[in-house]
Amino acid sequence: MIYSFVRGPIEGKPDRKKSSMYEQIAGKFRSAMPEFPEDSNLDLGLGIKQIRLRMGMTQSELAKDAGMKPAALKTLENGYAKFTTTKNLEALAQALKMPLREILLESREWFPGNFFVTKLSEVPRENRKRRPKYREDIWFKQKPLAISGSQIALITPPLKAPSHYSFLIINIDAGKELRDLRLPYPNQVTGFVQRGSLKILYNGSRELNLFGNQGFSLQGDKTHHFINQDKDNPLQFCLAFS
């Protein structure tokens, strides 16, 4: 069941001056994982390779159909070349029978800084040996944050782009609470209680009690607090927002 605090159109301007718990979480995450890419980008070669493999084509076949030199396609797919010419991109799109926009969108999916923390990444150039057809898997492990009696696992990066979502798994110790959460914009915050007893105080005047296997939605720029009502057992819930 989804409970929602939002009723009708959003009115008024959000207050962006007040710092919030979301900003503290993002700041602590960046400090804990300074090596993790924050800005949105794309891995063009790996995106093209994944599409080619799904279509059952070899590198030689794709290069021939696109009128490219096999060596040029090989270096692009293996990550030694980051980009190619517009002419080559258009020829690859035609050979793969896929709009160029779709190729670029898939290539964004393969860049580790765009979505989930545990993403494929190429080996830093200074730390790798040049081996043909080789791309090492590097996984950015979760680093749970300890904040105010809570353990927060941020499994997506805190991106700047408002079109991307952040996803948290939050554990609140027995009888503890996580206060003063607020987004700088009136975007939706959606959650799902996995286990425990969650009390939400919203916008200073409304409250809701939720239990395992129940969900909620609220307007993120209104200050809200998450409280574990159980004095003996921890609370765990998921939270998604942009």
- Whether the CB-CB separation of 186 and 214 falls below 8 Å is answered with no
**Pairing of the two strands 2-4 and 206-211:** unpaired
- Whether the CB-CB separation of 229 and 197 falls below 8 Å is answered with yes
Rounded CA-CA distance 202/153 in Å is: 23
Residue among 156, 169, 80 nearest 123 (CA): 80
The partner residues of 4 in beta bridges, in order of sequence, read 217
Residue 127, SS3 per DSSP: helix
User: What are the structure tokens assigned to 139, written together?
Assistant: 């996984």
pLDDT at 139: 59
pTM value is: 0.62
Q: What is the pLDDT along the chain (242 residues), one digit of tens a residue?
A: 556 655 443 344 444 445 578 888 878 877 877 766 666 677 889 889 999 999 999 999 999 999 999 999 999 998 888 888 889 999 999 999 999 988 988 887 777 655 544 444 444 555 555 554 555 555 566 678 898 899 998 777 655 555 567 888 999 999 999 999 998 888 899 999 999 999 999 998 899 999 999 999 999 999 999 999 999 999 999 999 87
Find the length of the chain.
242
Q: For residue 233, what is the enclosing H or E element?
A: none
